[in-house]
Every structure is written in structure tokens, then in C-alpha cells.
Structure 1
Amino acid sequence: MKPFKEKTFKMVETGMMLVALWWGVVLALPAHTFANPVYGAMSHLMPEKVWSALCIVIGLTIGIGMFLQQKLVQTIGLLASIGFWIFVAVALWLGDHFTTGTSYAVWAVLASWLYIHLIKEGDG
């Protein structure tokens, strides 16, 4: 049973990494995503390119921690991810109460689940 559980956690962690990197790439494109009023709370805090860099750093931190199997790096990546996705969900909700942006809180829940699993496994 343990190999299946490990594969499941790695798949979820890989998904978290890819979503963060995807957001980083999308926000780095010259499409001006923050021109949409839904992103108003985020655009008032930092420019789109800074959000892009933050997403890429979070994604790379998760990926490096996974690849090197370093619990401290994984912990940093997951905790940053939890905070980031909670903020995104709240910011999008503030921008438009009828948006599906609050669904990004699911990524925070998944990151929390991975973090709890990492801590339960040992010295994380």
C-alpha cells in the first residue's frame, strides 16, 4: 500500500508545482491579465511580473524539494503555496464576489494536506 500512497502524494505535489509554474508563465506573458478587474486586489499590491516571479519561485521550490527529497525545501515550498493560494482565492473573491476564484482555495487545501503528510512522515 505504501508505494501507491507515495505515488499519489508525488502526483499531487507535481500538480501543485505545475500549476504554480503555469501561473508564473501566464502572468509573465504580455497579455496584461491584471487588466481584468477581478485581479484588482492583486494588481494594487504588486505588478503582474512580480506575481509571475513569485509563482515561479514557489513552483521551483516545490519541484527542487521533491527532486532532492529535502523535507525542509518541501516544507518551505508547501507553506509558501498555502499562503499564496489562500491569498489568491481571497483577492479574486474581493475583486468579484461571483467569481470562481475562490476555487483556488482548493490548492491551499491540497498543499496543507501534503504538508501534514510530510510532517507525519518524519523530521519535516
Structure 2
Amino acid sequence: MRKVLRRLMPVELSLAFIASFWGVLLVLPFNTFATSSAYAPMSNVMPESAWGVLMLFLSGLLLYGMLSGRFLVRRYALLVATFVWLFIGSMLFFGNPASTGWGAYLNYAILSSWAYMRVGEQRHGR
């Protein structure tokens, strides 16, 4: 495995961890979306448990792509992560623009897109 790809692992592990953390919280019966009006736009898109399953799937895809060494899976997982975090950040912004949460999740989108580009560069020998 190339050195750059190993350096990306902490970023990818962080992305997988936060996705699994979200997934577990949303699948368990905590009724997380009821804790803040910031989640209202997200609950209009899908039920909380569906978001949880999506996030657990995303976490598994990120881990599989990273650990298997399959470039296409790894890039696909990072691309999906980019759009999921961008969507979540946007939904949290529309729910409560005064919160700090939306900025944090937009940061995850930026990290995902950066890792996506770096994995692609390594695949093509750049």
C-alpha cells in the first residue's frame, strides 16, 4: 500500500467512526430527532431509523473500501460520504442556522472530498 494511502487512514477511520456513531444513535430508540428542531428537515426526508441504517451502511462501506484496498469501492464510499455529509450539514443549517453542528458536518464533507481526490490520485499514479 502506498504511503499516501496509509496517511489517509486516520481521515477515513474518523469518517467511518462518526457515521457509525450517528447510525447507532439513530437506530437505538433514543428518539434523537425529537431532541432538537434542527433535525426537523432530516425527519421530513426519512425516518430516524432509516437515517441510522444509511449511516451504518456508509460506515461499513468506508471501512470495507479502506481495508480491502479496492480503489473503486474506496472512492465510491468517499464520494457517497461527501454527499451524505453535505446533505446533513445543509439540513442542519436549514433546521437551525445558529447552531454549530452544520459547520462540523460540512467539514466532514470537505474531508471526504479531499480523501476522495487523494485516493484517485494514487490510483492513477500521480
Under TM normalisation by the shorter chain, which class is it? over 0.9
Match of 1:104 in 2: 105
Gaps of 5+ in 1: none
Q: Does 1:55 align with 2:55?
A: yes
The one-letter code of the counterpart of 1:29 is: L
Q: Percent same amino acid among aligned pairs?
A: 31
Maintained 8 Å contact 1:20/1:59: yes
- Give the SS at the match of 2:42: helix
Match of 1:84 in 2: 84
- Give the SS at the match of 1:18: helix
TM-score of the superposition, structure 1-length normalised? 0.92
The number of aligned residues is 122
RMSD over equivalenced CA pairs, Å? 1.5
Gaps of 5+ in 2: none
Maintained 8 Å contact 1:89/1:105: yes
Q: Tell me: higher relative CO, structure 1 or 2? Use CA pairs within 8 A at least 6 residues apart.
A: 2
Per-residue deviation at 1:76? 1.4
Q: Which runs of 4+ in 1 moved over 6 A?
A: none
CA distance in 1, matches of 2:31, 2:22: 13
Maintained 8 Å contact 1:88/1:101: no
